[in-house]
C-alpha cells in the first residue's frame, strides 16, 4: 500500500471518527473538543475495560472518579475500599494492581504518569496493549496497541489469513505504517469504534465503513472469515 493510500486511510477514518465517535466519559476527541486527554482517566478506563464491556464499565468508572478524582487520591486509598468499589467487575487482581500502580506513579513519578511506553510497562498491571493505548491516547505518541477489535479491522483491511500468534505481529507491522503522527490517539480510538460498531465479528456493516473501498476482504467478499 502506497504512502498516498495510507494517508487517505488516515484522513477518511479520522473524518468518520469526528462525526461518529462514541460519547464516553473518559474520552476527549482532540479535534472536536480540544486539549489533551487526562492520563489518569485514560489509564483507569483501560484497566477497567480489560475483559469487561463499555456499558458495564461506565458506572464503575464514574463512581471511582467521584471517590478518587486524581491519581494521588487513589494512591492514598484503603485497599478494602477500592476492592469494595470494584465489586461486580471481576478479575480482582486488576483492582489490586490499580492501587499498586497509583502508588507507584506517586512514589516514582511524582504523581504524573510517564509518557513513554517503556516506562509505562514498568508499572503494575500495565501490559503492552495498555501501555500503547495510554501513550497514544493520553500523550499523542504514535504507538501501535492492538486489541481484538483493532486486530480484526486490520486483518480484514489487508485480508490477512495468518493464524495466531503470527497474526498479531503482522497486524502490528501494518499498524506501524498506518498510525499518523498527528492525532494518533484519535486514530487508535477510531479503530476501536470501527471494530466494535461496524467491523463486527459477524455480519459486519461494510456499507457504513469509511474503509470499505480499500478493504481487501470486502473486495474478496470474505470479510466474515
**199 contacts 209 by C-beta, under 8 angstroms:** yes
| 188-192-195-197 Cα dihedral, nearest 10 degrees | -130
Which spans in 71-223 are helix H? 71-75, 79-86, 93-109, 117-120, 128-139, 148-157, 166-178, 184-197, 216-220
How far apart CA 215 and CA 194 sit, in angstroms, is 13
Whether 46 is a known active-site residue: answer yes
Other residues' Cβ atoms within 10 Å of the Cβ of residue 215: 21
Q: Which is the catalytic residue, given 46, 66, 112, 162? A: 46
How far apart CA 132 and CA 129 sit, in angstroms, is 5
Which of the residues are catalytic?
A: 46
Amino acid at each position: 500500500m502506497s504512502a498516498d493510500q495510507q494517508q487517505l486511510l488516515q484522513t477518511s477514518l479520522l473524518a468518520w471518527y469526528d462525526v461518529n465517535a462514541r460519547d464516553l466519559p473518559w474520552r476527549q476527541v482532540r479535534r472536536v473538543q480540544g486539549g489533551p486527554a487526562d492520563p489518569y482517566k485514560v489509564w483507569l478506563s483501560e484497566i477497567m475495560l480489560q475483559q469487561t464491556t463499555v456499558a458495564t464499565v461506565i458506572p464503575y468508572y464514574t463512581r471511582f472518579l467521584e471517590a478518587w478524582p486524581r491519581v494521588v487520591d487513589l494512591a492514598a486509598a484503603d485497599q478494602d475500599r477500592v476492592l469494595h468499589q470494584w465489586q461486580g467487575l471481576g478479575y480482582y487482581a486488576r483492582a489490586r494492581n490499580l492501587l499498586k500502580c497509583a502508588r507507584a506513579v506517586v512514589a516514582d513519578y511524582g504523581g504524573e504518569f510517564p509518557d513513554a511506553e517503556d516506562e509505562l510497562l514498568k508499572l503494575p498491571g500495565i501490559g503492552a496493549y495498555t501501555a500503547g493505548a495510554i501513550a497514544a491516547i493520553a500523550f499523542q505518541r504514535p504507538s501501535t496497541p492492538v486489541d481484538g477489535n483493532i486486530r480484526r479491522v486490520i486483518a480484514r483491511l489487508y485480508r490477512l489469513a495468518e493464524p495466531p500468534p503470527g497474526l498479531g505481529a503482522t497486524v502490528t507491522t501494518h499498524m506501524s505504517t498506518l498510525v499518523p503522527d498527528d492525532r494518533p490517539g484519535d486514530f487508535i480510538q477510531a479503530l476501536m469504534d470501527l471494530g466494535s460498531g461496524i467491523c463486527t465479528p459477524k455480519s459486519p456493516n461494510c456499507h457504513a465503513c469509511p474503509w470499505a473501498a480499500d478493504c481487501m476482504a470486502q473486495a474478496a467478499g470474505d470479510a466474515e472469515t
